[in-house]
């Protein structure tokens, strides 16, 4: 199996009275470790936002793309992690980081890798209602080692 280098782009449109959320999920039965090396969050306006890691509470989604250059002749392959968006009138708890409001704000978290074990997800959300959000995730997927299995 080996390591799959992946990239994903997801956009959640603004909805009146709702927070926008973009989610990268490592499904509970994936058998892989998802390591997010970078993400870029861009709200549609000058809103701030937050990001957090939590046990999977938002199920479903569509697969991201593995864009490993070693597979260039094959084209894009689906990765094991799932992407989704949703809007909700309530902000998600369990926030690990934040970015402040400013015109054309972008958040890039490069201070450390974010590791998603099977059954966990990374949620990026706006901290203002009625603001859309686009997030680009760069990550890799690799098989779990025996010592990492839960």
Q: What is the pLDDT of residues 25-80, one digit of tens each?
A: 898 888 999 999 888 888 876 667 777 777 776 666 666 665 555 545 445 566 78
CA–CA dist 22, 10 (Å, integer): 7
Count other Cβ atoms within 10 Å, centred on residue 63: 15
Residue 94 has pLDDT above 60, yes or no: no
CA–CA dist 111, 122 (Å, integer): 16
- Could you tell me the two tokens for 100? 């402040």
Look-up: residue for tokens 């926030």? 95
């Amino acid at each position: 199996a080996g390591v799959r280098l992946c990239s994903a782009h997801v956009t959640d449109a603004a909805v009146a009275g709702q927070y926008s959320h973009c989610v990268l999920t490592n499904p509970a039965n994936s058998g892989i470790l998802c390591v997010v090396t970078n993400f870029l969050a861009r709200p549609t306006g000058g809103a701030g936002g937050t990001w957090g890691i939590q046990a999977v509470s938002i199920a479903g989604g569509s697969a991201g793309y593995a864009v490993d250059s070693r597979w260039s002749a094959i084209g894009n392959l689906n990765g094991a992690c799932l992407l989704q968006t949703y809007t909700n009138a309530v902000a998600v708890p369990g926030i690990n980081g934040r970015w402040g409001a400013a015109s054309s704000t972008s958040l890039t978290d490069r201070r450390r890798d974010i590791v998603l074990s099977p059954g966990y997800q990374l949620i990026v959300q706006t901290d203002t209602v009625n603001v859309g959000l686009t997030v680009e995730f760069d990550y890799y997927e690799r098989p779990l080692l025996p010592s990492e299995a839960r």
